[in-house]
Structures are given as C-alpha cells and as structure tokens.
C-alpha cells in the first residue's frame, strides 16, 4: 500500500501538521502553498488530482461531496473543531492505525470527547 499524503485545510493547526511530518507523512496544504481563500470545491479537486487525503475541521467538505457528487480521494474530518493541534494527535493516531481502510472515496470522521475517541470510516 502506498503511504498516505495529506492536504491540510487552513483550519488545521501547525502543530498537527508538524506531528504528521514527524511521523514521516508528506503534508502540503493551504498555508504551505499560500492558497488562502481558495474555494473548498477547488481543494477537493486539487487533492483528488494529487491523491491526497484532505484533513479538515470543516464539515462543508462532506456537504460538497454529497451534493455535487464531486470525485475525491479521501477526507479526514476532525471533531470538535477549533482546538489546538496537539488535541487531535490521539485521534490521528487511531485514524492512522486504520490507514489500510483509507482508499479512494473514503470519509473518516474522528471525534474526541475528553479521552474517548471514536472514528467512523465510510466508503462512498
């Protein structure tokens, strides 16, 4: 299996991006590529063309996928949003343990409440 690479939405904190890179993953994204203000549907297309997993705290990506039937590689949606990057590290660790299930047209929702983490993996 090819190693996953990620595209970080603008709401993904630098600490989480750095942690992913320390784990050996390639991570590009809005900040790294200076794409601030780009439309979410353009992000989906860009990530699809580059076989990258979008990592976000924004539920709009799921809405776009379902309403526009847009082709996409995979999306990791982290909940709750707007926490520092370190908060999401345990969630990403669990998601990465299940990386073998991540393939084209996969949505992964990772939700953390206190120390309890739940992930849902859905193939569309």
- pLDDT (tens place) for every residue of the chain, 124 residues total: 468 999 999 999 999 999 999 999 999 999 999 999 999 999 999 999 999 999 999 999 988 998 888 899 999 999 987 778 889 999 999 999 988 889 999 999 999 998 899 999 999 8
Token output for 61 = 């990506």
Give residue 1's pLDDT.
Answer: 47
Phi and psi, residue 104, nearest 5°? -55, 140
User: Own/partner pairs for 8-12, CB < 8 Å, 24+ apart?
Assistant: 8/32, 8/55, 8/56, 9/43, 9/54, 9/55, 9/56, 9/57, 9/58, 9/61, 10/36, 11/56, 11/57, 11/58, 11/81, 11/82, 12/55, 12/56, 12/57, 12/78, 12/85
Domain locations in the chain as residue ranges: 5-123
């Amino acid at each position: 299996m090819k190693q996953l690479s990620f595209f970080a939405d603008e709401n993904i904190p630098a600490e989480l991006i750095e942690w992913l890179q320390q784990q050996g993953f390639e991570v590009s994204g809005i900040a790294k590529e200076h794409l601030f203000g780009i439309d979410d549907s353009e992000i989906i297309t860009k990530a699809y063309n580059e076989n990258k997993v979008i990592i976000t705290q924004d539920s709009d990506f799921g809405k776009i996928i379902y309403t526009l039937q847009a082709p996409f590689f995979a999306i990791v949606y982290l909940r709750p949003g707007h926490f520092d990057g370190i908060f999401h590290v345990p969630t990403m660790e669990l998601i990465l343990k299940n990386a073998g299930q991540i393939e084209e047209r996969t949505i992964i929702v990772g939700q953390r409440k206190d120390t309890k983490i739940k992930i849902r993996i859905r193939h569309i």
